[in-house]
A and B are shown apart, each in its own frame.
Chain A
Amino acid sequence: GESVGLHLPTLSVQEGDNSIINCAYSNSASDYFIWYKQESGKGPQFIIDIRSNMDKRQGQRVTVLLNKTVKHLSLQIAATQPGDSAVYFCAENMKAAGNKLTFGGGTRVLVKP
């Protein structure tokens, strides 16, 4: 079946260091993948996405890597800041299923000053 696996661990990062959040997925038919940030009391907020025909995409301080061979997705945050503290989710979109967005379980990132 379809699943995007990301058990909810907590990643503690020193301010200024780089953060890496990992995600495993199982559905190779997904057409693109998205990373979301969710702060307390708010809805998921789009960070960056990557299409299934790409293996890397960069944004402002963030990079997403997609390894289709091992069905692995990662989000790298450069120079992590206190405002980056949140829960991060990976999600996969399946156009064939009516653009169904399936989320992983989330990773909590805590930035230590």
Chain B
Amino acid sequence: DTAVSQTPKYLVTQMGNDKSIKCEQNLGHDTMYWYKQDSKKFLKIMFSYNNKELIINETVPNRFSPKSPDKAHLNLHINSLELGDSAVYFCASRDLDHGYTFGSGTRLTVV
């Protein structure tokens, strides 16, 4: 009964590969987010979707493309992975009354 679930939890891949991270929330929230946490623990927003519509698109390379097939899912596809993409990626969802709920993260390591 995990509220916000991300898969995979760990992802190790070579430079140049394309990979996807999936996120699903069963809270009925309208808004979902992707955050990136670097090695110094700094959390920075990447994207936000509200009911399948892109709301926030921070300065993120075009190699990152979010996709929201429905309001319960927000996936993140990354093309041509680079060493600097190594980080922990967090999915979150939000509704107006209950604030933000974060997933447990996907640790991406590019080698």
State the A residues within 8 Å of B (CB): 8, 34, 38, 41-46, 49, 87, 89, 91, 97-103, 105-106
Contacts and interface: CB of A to CB of B under 8 A. Distances in A.
Interface residues of B, number: 24
Could you say which of A42, A44, A49 has the most chain B C-beta atoms within 10 Å of its C-beta?
A: A44
Given A99-B31, A105-B42, A34 B99 contact: yes
Given A34-B100, A99-B31, A99-B48, A89 B55 contact: no
Interface of B: 4, 31, 33, 35, 40-45, 48, 50, 55-56, 90, 92, 94, 99-105
A103 B43 contact: yes
A29 B40 CA distance: 27
Given A44-B90, A89-B43, A105-B41, A97 B56 contact: yes
Contact of B41 (A8, A43, A91, A98): A8
A87 B48 contact: no
A101 B94 CA distance: 11
Nearest to B40: A8
